[in-house]
Amino acid sequence: MKLTKLNMALATSLLGALSFSAMANDELTGLMKDDNQWAHPRKDFANTGYSAMSQINKGNVNKLKLAWTFATGVNRGHEGAPLVIGNIMYIHTAFPNNVYALDLDDDQKIVWSYFPKQDPSVQALLCCDNVNRGLGYGNGKIFLQQNDGLLVALDAKTGKKIWESMVVDTKIGASTTNAPHIIKDKVITGCSGGEYGVRCYISAYNIENGTLAWRAYSTGSDKDALIGDDFNKENPHYSALSVYQDVNGGNKEGGSFKPLPKEKLKFPVKDLGIKTWHKPQAAKNGWEQGGGPTWGWYSYDPSLNLMYYGTGNPGTWNPDVRPGDNKWSMTIFARDVDTGMAKWGYQMTPHDEWDYDGMNEIILWEHKGQKLASHFDRNGFGYTFDRTNGSLVVANKMHPFVNWASSIDLKTGIPVKDPKFSTHQDYNAKGICPSALGVKDQQPAAFSPKTGKFYVPLNHVCMTYEPIESKYIAGQPWVGATLTMFAGPDGVMGGFMAWDGINGKSIWYNKEKFSAWGGALATGSNLVFYGTLDRWFKALDADTGKELWKFRVGSGIVGNAITYGHKGNQYVGVLSGIGGWAGVAMNLGLTNETDGLGAAGGYKELTKWNAAPGGGAMNVFSL
């Protein structure tokens, strides 16, 4: 075939793009494989939170000492984790999302710092404290997703701003709290604002110049959601028009929902992101204010070229005003990274009645050659999927106290709801477990390929829940429910467990006085690290759950533990600074039981262990 100049130019351009993509990906992949580094929010594309480092082990972990600390100069909740690239640690803060680059070769001297100029009014949009979940790295750049929606690329060596792109519109109540994830030549970032009736999406920006590559909405038409004809090809029943039959009127007091058997499901159906929202909310159609936020963690399988993430709650917590399954909120999606097109999607909590956001991390792993993905959902069920096609392998309760549903039908994936715990407008439903916090919230679990087990920080909290009438006003809170929270039947508010992802059962389970709100770290010496709201940083035996070491830091921990190596020594570290949903009421001095979306009443004892607001710091330990 004769090449024209145009064809040659296109071929050269394509080759250059492919080469750049490969180089960007190869660099980050290499850093992830080097356990001296922590180059990705959860260590690797699979979101394992695992490092093979083993210098700190069961025999010497009790000798861990504080090596150094760094005060961020910012108060409120410090979620996420720093990055370690070479000899530099990059630390982020809660609002206003300052960034510091510390030289590990020079006693943590500040190499550069970046101070965003954000409108202070943005803080009012952040429902669950002024959190930011971390930074991304790729192609010599540090990426920051500011709370005000601005995505910023900084030169990793100098801190100089290279480009910026606006991801969301704060005027309608949208904000951004997630860590940017670098996958191939894309920066993947999300959207917050489910409590403001924001119609959310996930976006991919080109790493080189910040231009938008693709965007996939959580609700709306298949075109807007980037859903094609081959979506859910192996599990077409996931694309059913409705998975429940109304009982006693469904969306009214005393009503509930009976799961339909597979033979009665109508599938596959197009444009479910519109058709499963049966009643307009306020002046618009429900899907136009459909929520589906995407503020969690994103994973990636290079061999399949698929990224995985979860979407959050449907807009407004009052379920009676949005009958239907409300797709594609509360959904795990697998998407082609290059195009954004969805390969499969599974809705975990159809017609959510409890704010069981589905945005928790998806962890990729293998068992006997099968490519799997596991997810510990707010709704209290631990899921394992065949990640190639979304087929459901396991869906079991993470703890027996989960009562909103008795089980999940593996043939259909539909939860069997208990009508006693359905919620309806102006009816105060009592004793619902878990609370809206979920059995696990944003605090990511870890997976050890050595033990083959997951290590999961937990909430053990129940609630009363009363949906109320709420008018939609753009840019104003649109929660539509009041709730109170209280300790579950174990008599505590938290826990930490090891989980068998194949058999769907807990191997061991430790109680915690408060929710374990810090993300977990697993290491090659079969240790597990995590932090607590009452200021403890702990190390456990991964095999037995036995506590081997703990250290009390200056403020409650909602950050994720990391480890890295420097000059032949292994270090472990974690951000402290209490906050997040569990700590937001304390940080703001709120005292009414329902304040802070129920956190004020549930977590009022935190004031006995923490100063408010929580002061941010990085804490690093070594032998």
State how far the Cα of 443 lies from the Cα of 575, in Å rounded to an integer: 13
The pLDDT of residue 26 is: 86
CB 152 within 8 A of CB 143: yes
- The residue whose two tokens read 């597979």 is 262
Read off the tokens for 470: 């709420």
Q: In the prediction, which pLDDT does 500 show? A: 98
Identify the segments of the chain with pLDDT beneath 70. Answer: 1-24, 282-283
> Which pLDDT value is given to residue 11?
40
DSSP class of residue 94 equals: S
At residue 182, the pLDDT reads: 98
Q: Which of 320, 355, 357, 377 is catalytic?
A: 355
Superfamily covering domain 34-622: Quinoprotein alcohol dehydrogenase-like superfamily (2.140.10.10)
Does the active-site annotation cover 355? yes
Q: What is the DSSP letter of 2?
A: P
Judge contact between 380 and 439, C-beta under 8 A: yes
- Burial per residue of 180-197, b for 16 or more beta-carbon CB atoms within 10 angstroms, e otherwise: bbbbbbbbbbbbbbbbbb
**Closest C-alpha to 277, from 293, 260, 292, 261:** 292
- In the block, tokens 């997040």 appear at 580
- State the pLDDT at residue 249: 87
Query: In the chain, what are the domain boundaries?
Result: 1-27, 34-622
Residues 504 and 382: their CA atoms lie apart, in Å, by 7
pLDDT of residue 10: 37
DSSP string, 201-252: EEEEEETTT--EEEEEESSB-TTTTTB-TTTTSS-GGGG-S-SEEEETTSSS
Q: Which long-range contacts (CB under 8 A, 24 or more apart) does 563-566 make?
A: 563/35, 563/38, 563/51, 563/53, 563/56, 563/521, 563/523, 563/529, 564/35, 564/36, 564/37, 564/38, 564/51, 564/53, 564/84, 564/89, 565/35, 565/36, 565/53, 565/55, 566/36, 566/87, 566/104
Q: What DSSP string describes 253-264?
A: TT-EEEEPPGGG
Can you give the pLDDT at residue 14? 39
pLDDT at 22: 59
